[in-house]
Amino acid sequence: MLQVIQAFGLTSNSRKDLAPAVDDVSFEAPAGRVTALLGDPGAGKTTALRLMLELQQGRGITYFRGRPLHRIGHPSREVGVLLGDVPGHPGRTVRGHLRMLCAAAGVSARRADEILEVVGLVSLCDERLGTLSRGMDRRLGLACALLPDPHTLVLDEPAHGLSARESNWLYGMLRAHAAQGGTVLVTTPDPKEAARTADRVVTLERGNVVADQEAAEFARTRLRPRVAVRSPHAARLAAVLTKEARTAHRSVEVVLESGNRLSVYGSTCADVGETAFRHGVLVLKLADEVGDMGPGAGTTPPQEPQPERPDSGPQDATTTSPETVNEATPDAATTDEATDDKSATQPMPTPPDTTPPATDSEASTDHKPTDSHNRPAEAPTDQPRPPSRSLETLPSLPPPISVHPAPSPLRPLRYELRRATGIGTGFVTCAIVLVVSALTAVVLARIGHTPQARLFAAWPQQLPLPPAALGAGLLGALAFGDEFRYPALAADRGTVPRRLGLLTAKLLVAAATALALAVLTVGCDIEVLYLIYGRELAQVPGDWLSLSASWLGLMVGCAWAGVLAAGVFRSTTAGLAAVLAVPIVVVPLVQTVVEGSSVRTAAGLPMRMRQVFLLQWPFGGERYLEAVARVVAQPVGSALTLSLSALLCAYLFTNLRSRVR
């Protein structure tokens, strides 16, 4: 069998004198199987996953079908990841989030609708991510993982906080993915859940692997066996069993469950059945079980009532494997819940120390004689399986993507456009900038003594930057700031994939947004000044061409500074602070250097440029070069150019450093 996931020597970096959270963890997860990484909170499960996915610095290496993740061109197409809650902006819609990920993965936007139908979120496609319940968030997380049709699924406690119905559906989807030849690796703190849902269990304790077992062996050696009893006289039988155990000096624990259920630890079906027979206690069920995988494991969806039958025959003395345990579960869950628990008609949260029983499809197929012949071919019949399900009863998966499209330079651009337009933050920011700029221009015109150019830009002498430039810088900072705050692309190496294609797309979109905002700001300011004060204040200056070039350069420069600074410092606040630092810190430094006695002026620059460029540029290109030179020669222009150069070098440095490790 092909070993799809191979982890070797995973070791996290320790802090000070503390032991590493994960120390020399090695295990394998084969194809067509569900592998559970089991451990108590703090055992190192999540850290191990992050080391495997190269989201955290450490030692060791993990191979996915023979290749480490950083050697895979498109990791999201190989590994579907869900760590914690869905890392999406709370203001984005469900469909918008999936369509954005479709653009990032290079698949058709129709794939989002296919996934929504499979996971049952079609009716919630226009809901915001911040309004989803826990169960719907888990469904969306699984949809994001399945979107690029990956071969491997890596999920961190996917069923945490889910109801019994949601847990059954989720593990059914994972089982269906494994049945089609995929690999599934999940983490869980519940040993009973691991034994019931996984084929192989890798146990972690204090960052070390203490056991790597098949599920049947794990259930036999590491879970507590018990005798499950159901009787209309459960309290009387419990008292009798306790009395006889005390008399015989045997270590037997009797736990009276809800309704007519009883759990006996430290005894056998034969002993319990003999005691019940001698005391004339009617027994409706008597079965060996492991852990808490029987009737007390939770509630089931409404089912057709089945006739009760005395379970005192040979069929009741089941083995302790998870497969046979779950075959006994639906019978008890159906009859018991139909008679004793009216709440079985609706899903209820699963307590932390219990696990959900079988679903409707489980109850309808567990007792079919053909069930044992419909197992997936990928796993041997002697290996433990989850609740008995044939391939026909497993949940349907989205259709596979037969051929992935070749990488396209427009893919990052499509992603960035959907990211920027999928929420209203950008539109609200632009609207606020236009309103503030118009009010500022009106106030400046009322006060007077403001040059025409500054009046159109709504740029008071007392402010380092106009409102429009600050808005452009904020939009640029959000381009990378949102990526780090809501890391939707975590599967593509690191919190944000540091690829030049993504950086180029963000710079292009930020520049286009800044140019549009610059034109709209000046247009709105001129229109407002004309409406309030007349034509006198709305006249365009004669040197409008050079002023327009300076204004557009300032807006684009601020937007790019925000993008680069947020990408380097991984924060929207840091990006906006870098924009403000240009006029407050960098400009005074540049002026100090330029005005020093040892620095000559740049007088006669246009003439020397003509001498350098002897040939005439087509369409008068030398004039545009002169205009650019004049903009750069200004203190603000030179400071902004210097800042952008430094930020770009820092971004490239971090990009190269992340690639070489």
Domains assigned to the chain: 3-221 (3.40.50.300), 224-375 (no CATH), 411-659 (no CATH)
Contact assessment for residue 308 and residue 231, using Cβ atoms and an 8 Å cutoff: no
Distance CA 419, CA 439 (A): 30
pLDDT 10s digits, 156-191: 999 988 888 899 899 999 999 999 999 999 999 988
Q: What is the distance between the terminal CA atoms of the chain, rounded to a whole angstrom?
A: 31
pLDDT 10s digits, 139-159: 999 999 999 899 999 999 999
Strand partners, 62: 7
Q: Quick one: pLDDT at residue 208?
A: 93
Q: Quick one: pLDDT at residue 502?
A: 86
Distance CA 454, CA 303 (A): 74
State the amino acid at position 584 in one-letter form: I
Range list of β-strands (E), 116-205: 152-156, 183-188, 200-205
Contact assessment for residue 524 and residue 468, using Cβ atoms and an 8 Å cutoff: no
Q: Quick one: pLDDT at residue 85?
A: 85
For 268, the token pair is 């056998």
For helices 500-533 and 544-569, angle between their N-to-C axes, nearest 10 degrees: 140
Distance CA 546, CA 649 (A): 29
Report in angstroms the alpha-carbon separations of 40 from 37, 55, 121. 10, 22, 32
- DSSP state letter for 314: G
Residue keyed to tokens 């006669």: 604
Q: Quick one: pLDDT at residue 655?
A: 60
Q: Quick one: pLDDT at residue 249?
A: 87
Contact assessment for residue 356 and residue 168, using Cβ atoms and an 8 Å cutoff: yes
Q: Quick one: pLDDT at residue 431?
A: 96
Q: Quick one: pLDDT at residue 498?
A: 54
Does the reported pTM lie above 0.85? no
Strand partners, 265: 253
Q: Quick one: pLDDT at residue 490?
A: 63
Distance CA 652, CA 649 (A): 5
Count the Cβ atoms, other than its own, within 10 Å of residue 652.
Answer: 15
- With a CB cutoff of 8 Å and minimum separation 6, the contacts of 262 are 228, 229, 230, 231, 234, 237, 238, 254, 255, 256
Low-confidence ranges of the chain (pLDDT < 70): 1-3, 291-393, 402-407, 490-498, 590-591, 593-640, 642, 654-661
Q: Is the dihedral of CA 90, 94, 98, 103 positive or negative?
A: negative
Q: Quick one: pLDDT at residue 16?
A: 76
For 416, the token pair is 């960035």
Q: Quick one: pLDDT at residue 298?
A: 36
Q: Quick one: pLDDT at residue 358?
A: 38
